[in-house]
Amino acid sequence: MYSKILTLNFPKTKAQKPLVCNLARRFDLEFNILNATILPRKEGKMVLELFGTPKSFKKGIQYLKDNGVRVKNADSDIKRHEDICTHCGACTAVCPTDALSISRPDMTVIFDQKKCSLCELCVRVCPARAMYVRPTQDSFFGE
């Protein structure tokens, strides 16, 4: 499954339309709204994590653009809630870049963010939900 964090700008004429819901209905895409500001008769802004097959993803993005939505990739990174992490090591088994590793002999999970490729596999397998995706462009909503 393919996923990406996107920023969407809706024109004021489309801000109240169910365009994001139609991504699920028409294109079999899943979404997670990370942040949104949608007001009547004003431009809408949203940060959205979108999941689906590459083919459905491409069709869904084209649908948004055809409806006047400006779509761009959001800058993001992977973070860890240190206080939630149980150091179970599940994330280390799926990390392709060794950004997550086990320190011996204390058996704690070390996260080297510089090695992270943003594949998000750790986010999906973390049973404690300590790993998460965070948009790094906070200015999107402050425009």
- CA–CA separation, 109 vs 29, rounded Å? 33
Residue 116 belongs to a domain? yes
The pLDDT value recorded for residue 140 is 40
* Banded pLDDT at 137 (limits 50, 70, 90): low
pTM of the model: 0.54
Mean local confidence (pLDDT), 83-88: 96
Is the pLDDT at 138 greater than 60? The verdict is no
The pLDDT value recorded for residue 136 is 67
Looking at the structure, do residues 65 and 83 belong to the same domain, yes or no? no
Looking at the structure, do residues 125 and 69 belong to the same domain, yes or no? no
Dihedral angle sign, alpha carbons of residues 76, 79, 119, 96 = positive
Looking at the structure, do residues 81 and 64 belong to the same domain, yes or no? no
Mean local confidence (pLDDT), 18-22: 92
- CA–CA separation, 112 vs 99, rounded Å? 5
